[in-house]
Amino acid sequence: MSNRTLHHWIGTITISILLLGMTTANANEVSLRTVSAFAKGSSISDTFEQFVKRVNEDETTQVELDFIGGPEVMPPFQLGNAVRSGVVDVAFVPGAFYTNLMPVADALKLSEYSPWELRDSGAWEEIVQMWHQGMNVHYLAFTNYGNTFQLYLTKPVDNTDLSGLKLRITPVYRAFFRELGATVVQTPPGQVYTALERGVVDGYGWPIQGIFDLGWQEQTDYRVEPGFYTVEVGVLVNLDTWRSLTDQQRAYLTKQAKWLELLDRKNPKINSHARARQKEAGIETIRLDGEARETFVTTAYEAGWAEILQQAPDKGTRLRKLISK
C-alpha cells in the first residue's frame, strides 16, 4: 500500500471511530468528543489542557470532555470542518485554520481588546452570533490572548524588506509577509521542522511561545522584534451539540471558559521567559526601531485588515468596529 493510501485509510478509520464516539455515561451526563489542532503537552494548548482537566476532575458537574487527541488524530486544517459538521463536539483551533469555511475567523488575531474586555463591553454576544451563523459552532472561549506572533529567520534582515525570502506561513501571516515582499508557502505546524531542515524556507511565522516544542530552535537563527497581533485559539463547540446541552451544562462550561481565558493574564511574563530561553538557545534578536518598527507594525495591521475586508467585506467591517480601539 502506498503511503498516501495508508494515510487515507488511517484518516477514514479515525473519523469512523470519532463518529461512533458520542457516549452518554448516564442519562444526565454528557461526554463531548474533543480534538486539538496542537500536540498534547505543547505550549499553545497548555491552558486548554488545564481547562479539560479541571472540567473532568469536577465531580459536581455533568459534562465530560473526552480528549481524543491532537494532529495525530486529525489534520489541523480539517478540524474546523469536523466541528462544524459535528464529527467532533469540541475543537481547540485558531481561526486561521478554518478561513476556507469562515474567512472572517482569522480577524480575531487583530483584536485590540482582551476576551474579558470583549465580554464586558457586549461585543462578545455579537461575535458569538457571527460564529453561530458562519460556522455552526458556539465560540466558547478565546485563548492565547497576549501571546504574540513573531517572524523567525535563518538569514538576517536589516529592515522591513523581506524580498528574496521564502517564508512558511498560515493565513495569520500571509498578507503581512507578502506585503513586505516575501514569497510564502503554507504548511501545518507539523511540517515546519522539515521545511527548515531541507532549506525549503528561510524562516517562518509562529507565536513567541512554543518553538521548543518541536525542536525548531535547532533550525532558527534570528527572531525579528517586535512581535505583532495577538495569538487567538478558540474553543469551539458544535452548535447542535451546544443546543442539546442543558442550561446548567451550558452555564457551567461558560463559567469555566471565562476561567480559562483569564489564565492568559500571565502571558506577558510567559513571553519574557520565552524570549530569554530563545536567547540562551543562541537565537539572535533583530530589533527593528524607529521608522522601521513603525512600518512593521502598521503594515501588519493594514495588510491583515485589507485581506479580511477583501474576503468578508460586511462581516469584516462589523468585526473591525467591535475589536479595534
34 with 25: CB under 8 angstroms?
no
Nearer CB in complex with ligand 173: 35/63? 35
Q: By CB under 6 A, tell whether 245 contacts ligand 173.
A: no
Out of 207, 227, 234, 316, name the contact with ligand 173 by CB under 6 A.
207
Q: By CB under 6 A, tell whether 113 contacts ligand 173.
A: no
Q: By CB under 6 A, tell whether 304 contacts ligand 173.
A: no
Nearer CB in complex with ligand 173: 189/252? 189
Q: By CB under 6 A, tell whether 115 contacts ligand 173.
A: no
In angstroms, what is the minimal distance from the CB of 51 to ligand 173? Answer: 16
Q: By CB under 6 A, tell whether 103 contacts ligand 173.
A: no
Q: By CB under 6 A, tell whether 80 contacts ligand 173.
A: no
Nearer CB in complex with ligand 173: 30/235? 235
In angstroms, what is the minimal distance from the CB of 210 to ligand 173? Answer: 7
Task: Give dist(CA 93, CA 38) in Å, integer.
Answer: 8
Nearer CB in complex with ligand 173: 70/189? 189
Nearer CB in complex with ligand 173: 61/222? 222
Contacts of 274 (CB under 8 A, 6+ apart): 43, 208, 209, 210, 211
Q: By CB under 6 A, tell whether 189 contacts ligand 173.
A: yes
Which residue in 63, 96, 65 sits closest to 79, CA to CA? Answer: 96
Nearer CB in complex with ligand 173: 189/316? 189
Q: By CB under 6 A, tell whether 234 contacts ligand 173.
A: no
Out of 79, 96, 303, 319, name the contact with ligand 173 by CB under 6 A.
96
The HSE-up count of residue 303 (CA atoms within 13 Å, CB side) is 19
Nearer CB in complex with ligand 173: 206/305? 206
Q: By CB under 6 A, tell whether 231 contacts ligand 173.
A: yes
Return the number of other C-beta atoms located less than 10 Å from residue 250's C-beta.
17
Q: By CB under 6 A, tell whether 206 contacts ligand 173.
A: yes
Task: Give dist(CA 242, CA 137) in Å, integer.
Answer: 8
C-alpha cell at position 79 = 478540524
Q: Give residue number: closest CB to ligand 173.
A: 170
Q: Which stretch binds ligand 173 (CB under 6 A): 9-17, 203-211, 213-221, 271-279?
A: 203-211
Out of 71, 80, 94, 316, name the contact with ligand 173 by CB under 6 A.
94
Q: By CB under 6 A, tell whether 235 contacts ligand 173.
A: no
Out of 205, 227, 234, 304, name the contact with ligand 173 by CB under 6 A.
205
Nearer CB in complex with ligand 173: 95/316? 95
Q: Which residues bind ligand 173 (CB under 6 A)?
A: 44, 94, 96, 170, 172, 189, 205-207, 231, 233
